Amino acid sequence: MTTGEPKENRVVRARRKARRTEDERLLQAAFTQTDPWRVLRIMGEFVEGFEELAELGPAVTIFGSARVGPKDAAYAKAVEVGRLLGEAGFTIVTGGGPGIMEAGNRGAREVGAPSVGLNIELPFEQNVNPYVDISVDFRYFFVRKMMLVKYSQAFIIFPGGFGTLDELFEALTLIQTGKVRNFPVVLFGSEYWQGLLDWLAGPMLSEGKISAADLELVVTTDSPAEVRDRILASTDGESPEAGYEERSREATREALGREDRRPRTE
pLDDT band at 13 (very low <50, low <70, confident <90, very high): low
In this predicted structure, the answer to whether residue 1 has a pLDDT above a threshold of 50 is: no
- The answer to whether 180 touches 149, Cβ cutoff 8 Å, is yes
Across-strand partners of 160?
A: none
Quick: pLDDT tens for 14-61. 454 555 665 565 556 555 556 677 888 889 899 998 999 988 999 999
> What is the predicted pLDDT for the residue at 237?
72
What is the mean pLDDT of the segment spanning 85-91? 97
In this predicted structure, the answer to whether residue 260 has a pLDDT above a threshold of 60 is: no
Q: Of 26-30, 110-114, 238-242, where does the model show the most confidence? A: 110-114
CA distance 172 to 36: 32
What is the mean pLDDT of the segment spanning 68-90? 97
CA distance 224 to 212: 27
- The domains found in the chain, sorted by start residue, are 45-256 (3.40.50.450)
C-alpha torsion sign, points 209, 214, 216, 220: negative
Range of weakest confidence among 114-123, 135-144, 160-169, 232-241? 232-241
Burial class (CB in 10 A: 0-12, 13-18, 19+), 125: exposed
> What is the predicted pLDDT for the residue at 162?
95
CA distance 141 to 161: 16
- Helix then strand then coil, in percent of the chain rounded to 5, is 55, 10, 35
pLDDT band at 11 (very low <50, low <70, confident <90, very high): very low
The residue with greater pLDDT, 4 or 224, is 224
Give DSSP secondary structure letters for 103-156: HHHHHHHHTT--EEEEEE--SS--PPPTT-SEEEEES-HHHHHHHHHHT-S-EE
What is the mean pLDDT of the segment spanning 230-241? 82
CA distance 123 to 15: 8
Could you give the dihedral angle defined by the CA atoms of residues 13, 17, 22 and 27, in that order, rounded to the nearest 10 degrees? 80
Give CA 19 to chain center in angstroms.
26
Laid out side by side, the sheet with 91-94 consists of 134-138, 115-120, 91-94, 59-63, 155-157, 185-188, 219-221
Quick: pLDDT tens for 202-225. 999 999 999 999 999 999 999 999
Burial class (CB in 10 A: 0-12, 13-18, 19+), 266: exposed
> What is the predicted pLDDT for the residue at 232?
94
- For the chain, give the percent of residues with pLDDT over 70: 82
Distances in whole angstroms, Cα of residue 52 to Cα of each of 131, 205, 237? 17, 41, 28
pLDDT band at 181 (very low <50, low <70, confident <90, very high): confident
CA distance 118 to 96: 5
- The answer to whether 68 touches 41, Cβ cutoff 8 Å, is no
> What is the predicted pLDDT for the residue at 257?
82
> What is the predicted pLDDT for the residue at 34?
65
Quick: pLDDT tens for 126-180. 689 999 999 999 988 889 999 999 999 999 999 999 999 999 999 999 999 888 8
State the chain's mean pLDDT as an integer. 86
